[in-house]
Amino acid sequence: MIAVGSGEALRLAERGDADAVLAHSPRAEEEFMAAGHGESRRPVMFNDFVIVGPEADGAAIRGLSDAAAALARIAAAGAPFISRGDDSGTHARERLLWGAAGIDPAGSWYLEAGQGMGAALMMASEKQAYTLSDRGTYLSLCDRLELSVLVEGDPALRNQYSVIVVRGAANADGARAFAAWITSPAAQQLIGEFGLERFGRPLFIPNAERR
């Protein structure tokens, strides 16, 4: 098992270097399937993205219900924003939100980490900047961060994960077995309980289709 961003995971699969992919970049997954690279794609679970930032909130986005509008305020204020910049599912969603805001982010206020979510959050905390994060990673690190959740609840922030069995997989039986397991009632129950003990709430909501 290799943990990489969704974009890199799909590229590995397209090259034949992965048999199954768990991804959270719906548009890229749809393109992957349309190109004939996937044998099957099934929903597994979802959580949500949040926009986090410094408690002082210089861009005044706290409590907004429109994520694109929040990004527009950040850009207008020239407030520092950390992008993952790594073609991950989170980065893809960020680009969609900037597009919805009608903004092509650039300038000294917009910094690309080129790293994973944890590193981007730590950088945002150090620079007292804003960033887009999946809620689970933020919760796992929040005790080490000087960042607060400022924007949440927009339907555009829903973060869906799906499992794809790669067409022509070297270990096709193993890939199908993994997809069957992660969407099974037993695995879905485990997913629904993950995080409860530590955070008092599940980090993911299982939503596999019953077959």
**All structural domains of the chain:** 6-46+159-206 (3.40.190.10), 48-156 (3.40.190.10)
pTM here is 0.83
- What are residue 151's DSSP bridge partners? 51
- What are residue 49's DSSP bridge partners? 134
The Cβ of residue 65 has, within 10 Å, a number of other Cβ atoms equal to: 11
* pLDDT at 183 > cutoff 90: yes
Which tokens sit at 66? Answer: 């429109």
**How are beta strands 81-83 and 158-166 bridged, if at all?**
unpaired
Q: What is the mean pLDDT of the chain?
A: 94
Whole-number Å distance between alpha carbons of 79 and 108? 9
Q: Which of 155, 127, 115 is nearest to 53 (CA)?
A: 127
Structure confidence at residue 87 as a pLDDT band (50, 70, 90): confident
Can you spell out the DSSP letters for 10-47?
A: HHHHHTTS-SEEEE--HHHHHHHHHTT-EEEEEEEEEE
Q: What percent of the chain has pLDDT over 70?
A: 99
Query: Which pLDDT belongs to residue 210?
Result: 61
